[in-house]
Amino acid sequence: MRNRLCKVQQKFNYKGIVVEPKIRDFFIGRIWTRNHTPFSQEKIEKYIEHQFFNIKPGISFFRKGFLQRQIYRCNRCHNTNQHEIVHYNCARCEKVCVYCRHCINMGRVTSCTDLLTWNGPSSHYPLSHKLVWEGKYTEAQHEAAQQLQESIKTGRHHLIFAVCGAGKTEILFPAVEFALNQGKRVCIATPRTDVVLELYPRFQKVFPKTNLHALYGSVPVQQGFPQLVITTTHQLYRFENAFDVVIVDEADAFPYTYDRTLQKAVVKAKKEDAPITLVTATPSPQILSRVKREKWGVSFIPRRYHGYPLPVPRYESLWSYDKKIQKGDIPTKLEEWTKARLTNKEPFLIFFPTIRLMHMATSLFQQLDKRIVSVHAEDEERKEKVLKLRKEEVPGLLTTTILERGITIKNIQVAVVGAESKIFTSSALIQISGRVGRNSQFPTGDIVFFHHGITAEMDEARNEIIRLNREGFGEGFK
């Protein structure tokens, strides 16, 4: 009898204490510092004693190259940039320790910090997920959704290349439902917090039976085991070997393309053979060549869901606009454009290359209409201001590239001031142009690049939009 009991216990991985579901659900798939968990330290130590956790040092090193140089690596964010690794005299260990500056905002990780990963029983995965969505697909969307589902079924990486306003999020629904019902853990990651905030309620609505969590910088701890996680790519530093399916939305957005560790974080957060899906309107050449080389599944949608072509940007010269604005004048063409928008009562966005220039221009624009305000990345009222534009409480916004993606406003008109600036890359310009004409009632709109000389990036953006329209509407499209 006793023996049989032991066997049963072994089978269920019994290790001396009964695991609290709260702790189990939190730690599955996560990698967390030992001393900063949301649970009491005594409990955590007890769990460690009973081997419910694997422990590894926060920073380890390996040797590399001819000289066998020591290279440190942060085990949380996998950063190996040695400029971001700092040596210091640690008063706790009384020797020289190192810490990683790259992910220090999430709490410092040093070589004497322990990182915990879960080694206990796994959670129960419910299989009764239901997609509640009554929208209708266009033919292209339907095809893409099928292709994506097929890729996830076979465990193949996939790229969804769809123009701005093609209805990319909806394409994900059936594939996510399929994966969840297979008992898989799904992660939708995106570089932008704004996008997380927009996706979360949408997914919550269409998957009412699923426990899903949204993770971003300062989010409170949420209850239960999330089988579906919507997160910023930064938060993936805190996951390891966790997901069976990873979808990266807006995979071309800053800083994901720029920061190698974020790309590593995605690979680290997924299980080894889990497929990645990239969703983007402007895939970089690197992504495209990888897709080709590694034979990914590809869905290409050159047409918007409402079936109208993408608005093609027009060029308008605005010589020495910065000097004019510095002198306290709005350049004539820009002033006329804004006045036309005001008289037609059309909401508008004006993009500026720098915050400094935007601030100088704000007071000038407020002379045209007092309600015009400006938005930038560190603005605390960013969300409210965009909402005001949506509700037509403000006629227009001045903004930096922060609003280049993820915002959809009916009948919006867009101008880019200083489109020749370095910050407006071709993908940024394509994204900005993609804000216009997203609504089926107002499928067209004005998109102007005000410039001090035309750059290759501008041409590239314009040609790409024309090319996509040709793909979607045949060669006859001018």
Partner 1 sequence: MKGTEVMNCLLCNTPLNEPVTWKLLLTNHFPKTICTDCENKFKPYENKEKAVTSLYQYNEAMKDYLHRYKFLHDIILAKVFREQIHHHLSKQNAIIVPIPMHPLKLKERTFSPVDELLNEANVPFTHYLEKITTETQGGKSRQQRLNAPQIFRLKNGMDVVGKDFILVDDIYTTGTTIKHGKKVLLDEGAKSVTAFTLIRG
For residue 63, the cross-strand partners are 70
Taking alpha carbons only, the member of 235, 16, 205 closest to residue 107 is 235
Strand 413-417 to strand 447-451: parallel, antiparallel, or no bridges (unpaired)?
parallel
Contact (Cβ atoms closer than 8 angstroms) between residue 222 and residue 213: yes
Q: Dig out the tokens for 453 from the structure.
A: 């000389």
* Joined tokens for residue 85: 């690794």
Rule CB under 8 A: which residues touch partner 1? 82-92, 97, 99, 101, 104-105, 107-108, 110
Is the CA virtual torsion 248, 103, 241, 230 positive or negative? Answer: negative
Q: How far is the CB of 350 from partner 1 (least distance, A)?
A: 25
* Nearest residue (CB) to partner 1, 34 versus 452: 34
**Angstrom distance (rounded) from CA 57 to CA 116:** 9
Is the Cβ of residue 70 or residue 367 nearer to partner 1 in the bound state?
A: 70
Rounded least distance, CB 432 to partner 1, Å: 24
Instruction: Select from 279, 302, 259, 261 the least CA-distant residue to 405.
Output: 279
Q: In this complex, which beta carbon is closest to partner 1, that of residue 7 or of residue 92?
A: 92
The answer to whether the beta carbons of residues 284 and 427 sit under 8 Å apart is: yes
123 torsion bin: left (phi>0), alpha (psi -120 to 50), beta (else): beta
Could you count the other beta carbons within 10 Å of the beta carbon of residue 74?
A: 27
Query: Please, which residue, 62 or 88, has the CB nearer to partner 1?
Result: 88
CB of residue 152 vs partner 1: minimum separation in angstroms? 37
CB of 73 to partner 1, least distance (A): 15
Which residue, 104 or 342, has its beta carbon nearer to partner 1? 104
Min separation Cβ 87 and partner 1, Å: 6
Residue count of the chain: 478
Give the sign of the dihedral formed by CA 185, CA 191, CA 194, CA 198.
negative
Whichever of 112 and 454 has its CB closer to partner 1, that residue is 112
Tokens in use for 96? 């020289």
Nearer to partner 1, 35 or 444 (CB): 35
Least distance between partner 1 and beta carbon 85 (Å): 7
Token representation of residue 475: 């060669």
Which one, 107 or 201, has the nearer CB to partner 1? 107
Task: Extract long-range pairs of 455-462: CB within 8 Å, 24+ residues apart.
Answer: 455/419, 455/420, 457/424, 457/425, 457/426, 457/429, 458/313, 458/315, 458/419, 458/420, 458/424, 458/426, 458/429, 460/426, 461/313, 461/426, 461/427, 461/429, 461/430, 461/433, 462/312, 462/313, 462/315, 462/429
Enumerate residues 6+ apart whose C-beta is below 8 A from 54: 116, 117, 118, 119
User: Toward partner 1, which CB reaches closer, 4 or 422?
Assistant: 422
CB 95, min distance to partner 1, A: 11
Find the shortest distance in angstroms from Cβ 358 to partner 1.
16
Which residue, 106 or 298, is less far from partner 1 as judged by CB? 106
Tell me the closest approach of the beta carbon of residue 105 to partner 1, in angstroms. 7
State the nearest-atom distance from the C-beta of 191 to partner 1, in Å.
17
